[in-house]
Amino acid sequence: MTKFDVAVIGGGMVGAATAIGFALQGRNVVVVEGSAPQAFSPQQEMDIRVSAISEHSVAVLNRLGAWSAIERMRVCPYRRLETWEHPECRTRFHSDALQMEQLGYIVENRLIQLGLWQQLVQFENIELYCPDRLENIEFGDVNRVVLASGECFEASLIVGADGANSKVRQLAGIGITAWDYRQHCMLINVQTELAQQDITWQQFTSTGPRSFLPLASLPSQSEGGQGSLVWYDSPKRIRQLCAMNNDQLREEILVHFPSELGEIKVLQFGSFPLTRRHAQTYFKRQCVLVGDSAHTINPLAGQGVNLGFRDVEVLLEVSAGVSSLNESILRWYEHKRRPDNLVMQSGMDFFYKGFSNEIAPLKLVRNAALKLADNAGPLKTRVLKYALGLN
């Protein structure tokens, strides 16, 4: 039976990055993924799933050899970030404060995955099972992986990169701490009359935030731009919005989003529930979890995939130059990543809950805090550097 050093279950953004990283260490790797990313064409409409990629994540992708391919497809750099509840009480961030060209990039998730796959398929020491999926893991001295196709192989280490409902996590017997935020998130791609591609902004409301993320313009677009709107609200309200046609939804957006947005045309939309999950351990029985398999976060600041790439970075750091990927290596990985992920989860929850009410004294305090934060000098810069993974 074929034996691999590492089996990566899930070939999405984080899984593909993990596989490339281990292959660069000279290890024999196998990747199991249900479907390959669609090929890219400049004329394709934008996907609704996008991520705010930090400069730290760009550095990780560069080291894996994938960023140049992603950048050649479609990315939108942004230099400014603003957040507010009352329009007169804003916190503003600018890349100039960090002497950077941009704070990060808004990129479609599929294109990040595609750029990684273009690199992944070039490795002779990576074998790919696609389309296929994990059926079972037979645990022993060396774990045996059984796929839905009937294919079987052995692996010294199994990496669960198979998302929030990870089957690797389930089969390994790793529990989770989870709760439902009782809100849904709606993603809406729009064409904007205003060109505002250098800024991402977020307004807090009592029913949930309203956010704008800039998107790259299509070659056929002569003026204005495209953007991704994020609308948090109750499940009932989001269901109502999803039942509308594009013109009806446009009217609702113009009423409930800030005037900064300007005139728009709705292109496409989708929604998903908000749930927080955190694995009770990141490893067990020679299985280790990365990305959403280990933790999901409120997408308030678009940090989910950045945390996943930091998982990959640390897992590769602790395993570099080590012949045996044993329990002590995995424990060190968890020791370095779990506290950071927990801090980010808790920080997003603090903002989310702190702004989700209409209590007058609390509104006054939180708006004053945003105003003060805008003039916080070095502290403001430190917060921004932490959020961007630069500390």
Asked which of 240, 275, 310 is the last residue of a domain, the reply is: 275
Task: Tell me the mean pLDDT in the region 242-255.
Answer: 97
- 60 and 153 in one domain? yes
Query: What was the pLDDT predicted at 233?
Result: 92
Over the stretch 332-354, which tens digit does the pLDDT of each residue have? 999 999 999 888 877 666 655 65
Which pair of structure tokens corresponds to residue 338? 């779990």
State the Cα–Cα distance between residues 28 and 291, nearest whole angstrom. 21
- Reply yes or no on whether the pLDDT at 241 is more than 90: yes
- Reply yes or no on whether the pLDDT at 361 is more than 50: no
- 211 and 168 in one domain? no
Does 91 reside within a domain? Answer: no
- Reply yes or no on whether the pLDDT at 357 is more than 60: no
> Residue 13: which CATH number?
3.50.50.60
- Residue 389 belongs to what H/E stretch? none
Asked which of 275, 290, 320 is the last residue of a domain, the reply is: 275
State the Cα–Cα distance between residues 149 and 221, nearest whole angstrom. 44
Does 85 reside within a domain? Answer: no
End-to-end CA distance of the chain: 45
Contact 311, 297 (CB under 8 A): no
Q: Which residue, among 42, 158, 51, has the nearest Cα to 105 in the 3D structure?
A: 51
- 305 and 163 in one domain? yes
DSSP E strand boundaries for the chain: 3-9, 29-32, 50-54, 76-78, 80-84, 90-94, 104-108, 126-129, 134-138, 143-147, 152-160, 176-192, 199-203, 210-215, 225-233, 264-279, 283-284, 287-289, 295-296
> Residue 188: which CATH number?
3.30.9.10
Which positions ≥6 away from 220 have C-beta within 8 Å? 43
Q: Pick the more confident residue, 384 or 288.
A: 288
Does 101 reside within a domain? Answer: no
Does 98 reside within a domain? Answer: no
What crossing angle do the helices spanning 13-24 and 304-319 adopt, rounded to 10°?
20
Q: What single DSSP character describes residue 103?
A: S
Q: What is the mean pLDDT of the chain?
A: 88
Angle in degrees, CA 186, 77, 122, rounded to 5: 95
Task: Tell me the mean pLDDT in the region 262-291.
Answer: 94
Query: What was the pLDDT predicted at 243?
Result: 97
Contact 295, 307 (CB under 8 A): yes
- Reply yes or no on whether the pLDDT at 134 is more than 50: yes
Contact 229, 210 (CB under 8 A): yes
Query: Which structural domain, as residue segments, surrounds residue 226?
Result: 181-275
Query: What was the pLDDT predicted at 244?
Result: 97
Q: Which residue, among 209, 256, 221, has the nearest Cα to 76 in the 3D structure?
A: 221
State the Cα–Cα distance between residues 206 and 151, nearest whole angstrom. 51
Query: What was the pLDDT predicted at 365?
Result: 46
At 223, is the pLDDT very low, low, confident or very high (cuts 50, 70, 90)? confident
At 356, is the pLDDT very low, low, confident or very high (cuts 50, 70, 90)? low
- 120 and 265 in one domain? no
Query: What was the pLDDT predicted at 359?
Result: 47
Contact 32, 132 (CB under 8 A): yes
Kindly compute the dihedral angle of the four CA atoms of residues 196, 345, 179, 172, in this order, to the nearest 10 degrees. Answer: 120
- Reply yes or no on whether the pLDDT at 314 is more than 80: yes
State the Cα–Cα distance between residues 66 and 237, nearest whole angstrom. 39
Give CA separation, 83 vs 61, 202, 203, 227, in Å.
28, 5, 6, 17
Does 80 reside within a domain? Answer: no
